Amino acid sequence: MVKRKGFPQVSTAAVGYHKGIEVFSKKMGMGGRAEVYNAEMVGLMLGAKLAANFVRNHPEITNLYYFVDNSVAAGAIFDPKPQPGQLYAAKFHQRMAKFLDNNTTCMIEINWCPSHCKIQGNDREDELVKEATQMAWNVPIGTSRAFALR
């Protein structure tokens, strides 16, 4: 998170690896209309979309592993009750349910990983997030509920 004109500029990113090689990445600016928690949830939603698209072209892949450095977001992605980031969690569920329906031999696992501990994918994602703070808001959903409450 970077502050510009007194407001925090939030951003998110997702990066994917297959056999140790980066195979996709995307970063998004969320501007000052979102909270860091929203960025974590958007990152999971974005990762779900990118991973499903990648696996569609690589049927030999049978397991998807998500690593997120925010344990609250990792737990909340499966919680359907109203909460901040609920829309992003619902989109994640829709994408993953469709993916699993079309790939009945696949498995999905979400894991917590420590941040800033020289973990390749996490460090790369942090790098993309920092770059994205300079980007204009380009998330498909408007102002977050958490921001509106603030």
Instruction: State the CATH number of the domain containing residue 139.
Output: 3.30.420.10
Distances (CA, A) of 132 to 1, 6, 12, 48, 89: 10, 18, 7, 19, 22
The domain total for the chain is 1
**Helix and strand numbers, DSSP H then E, in the chain:** 5, 5
At 86-117, the pLDDT tens digits run 788 888 888 888 888 988 888 999 888 887 78
**Cα–Cα distance between 23 and 39 in angstroms, integer?**
21
State yes or no: pLDDT of 62 exceeds 80: yes
Q: Tokens for 14?
A: 């997702």
Please calculate the CA angle 62-25-93 and round it to the nearest 5 degrees: 55
pLDDT of residue 138: 57
Other CB atoms within 10 A of residue 110 CB: 19
Q: Write down the pLDDT at residue 1.
A: 47
Mean pLDDT of 68-92: 80
Nearest to 146 by CA among 85, 78, 71: 85
Looking from the CA of 21 toward its CB, the CA atoms found within 13 Å total 2
- Identify each DSSP E strand in 6-138 by its residue range: 7-18, 21-31, 63-68, 107-112
120 vs 20: which has the higher pLDDT: 20
- What pLDDT, on a 0 to 100 scale, did the predictor assign at position 77? 79
Tokens 């359907």 found at: 80
The mean predicted confidence, pLDDT, of the chain is 81
Q: Output the pTM of the full model.
A: 0.80
For residue 135, what are the domain limits? Answer: 2-149
